A and B are shown apart, each in its own frame.
Chain A
Amino acid sequence: GESVGLHLPTLSVQEGDNSIINCAYSNSASDYFIWYKQESGKGPQFIIDIRSNMDKRQGQRVTVLLNKTVKHLSLQIAATQPGDSAVYFCAETQFGGQGGKLIFGQGTELSVKP
């Protein structure tokens, strides 16, 4: 069935290194993708989004790349900091303009070692 999934359930990086979190999606009709960060005991927090008419979008220390050919999404975090430790989710919309009806992946836990 249609799904959004992550290749790696856990990722451990050294402080200061760059982190890359990957996500695969299966529905070519999806037109909007979002990355969320979730810290323990809190709700998911919006990080960055990208529309299907773009390949790359940059924020502060974060970059999202979208490869529609292979249905792949990635989140790059530059100079990873201990405060980046959290679970990261990718999500997609599969119903055109209903931006709030998202399908989430299972999440990747990022652990930053000082």
Chain B
Amino acid sequence: NAGVTQTPKFQVLKTGQSMTLQCAQDMNHEYMSWYRQDPGMGLRLIHYSVGAGITDQGEVPNGYNVSRSTTEDFPLRLLLAAPSQTSVYFCASSRGTGDSPLHFGNGTRLTVT
């Protein structure tokens, strides 16, 4: 199994551009989520989904959109990139039950200039 796969690994954007970070999992997990990791701040939840067709906001949702049309995929869209969105983005998935740990991808390092 590949687990959680994120693409691209690196991306540079100019302020105002838009892009989509891709995330796919092959574990048939119901739950998927996006986190951003900034130096000294740990991981913060952006958006999450408890199943296909269902999404909700996390701690820092502003400037990001998500959709969940299939169980496997959970793309994250940056609508108008800003320098404050420079970060490392991690996608994760889990069975979604109360005692199932998150499995993470290896991240996308995004720089907005």
Contacts and interface: CB of A to CB of B under 8 A. Distances in A.
Residue from the set A34, A43, A102 with the largest chain B CB neighbour count within 10 Å: A43
Interface stretch (A13-21, A44-52, A75-83): A44-52
Interface string A37-71: 00001111110010100000000000000000000
B9 to A, nearest CB: 9
A45 B104 contact: yes
Nearest to B30: A100
Interface residues of B, number: 31
Contact of B97 (A36, A46, A97): A97
Contact of A42 (B44, B95, B97, B107): B107
Nearest to B44: A104
Contacts of B104: 36, 43-45
B90 A101 contact: no
Contact of B99 (A42, A46, A49, A101): A49
Interface residues of A, number: 26
Contacts, number: 75
B53 interface: no
Given A44-B90, A106-B40, A101 B101 contact: no
- Prevailing SS type, chain B contact patch: strand
Interface in A68-114: 89, 93, 96-107
Interface string B1-18: 000100000000000000
Nearest to A32: B99
Contacts of A45: 104
B98 A31 contact: yes
Given A98-B50, A100-B48, A41 B106 contact: yes
A99 B97 CA distance: 6
B43 A101 contact: no
A93 B33 CA distance: 14
Given A41-B106, A102-B45, 4 more contacts: A44-B90, A44-B102, A98-B31, A100-B31
Which 6 pairs of residues, A with B, have the shortest CB-CB distance?
A: A43-B104, A97-B98, A100-B31, A100-B94, A104-B42, A104-B43
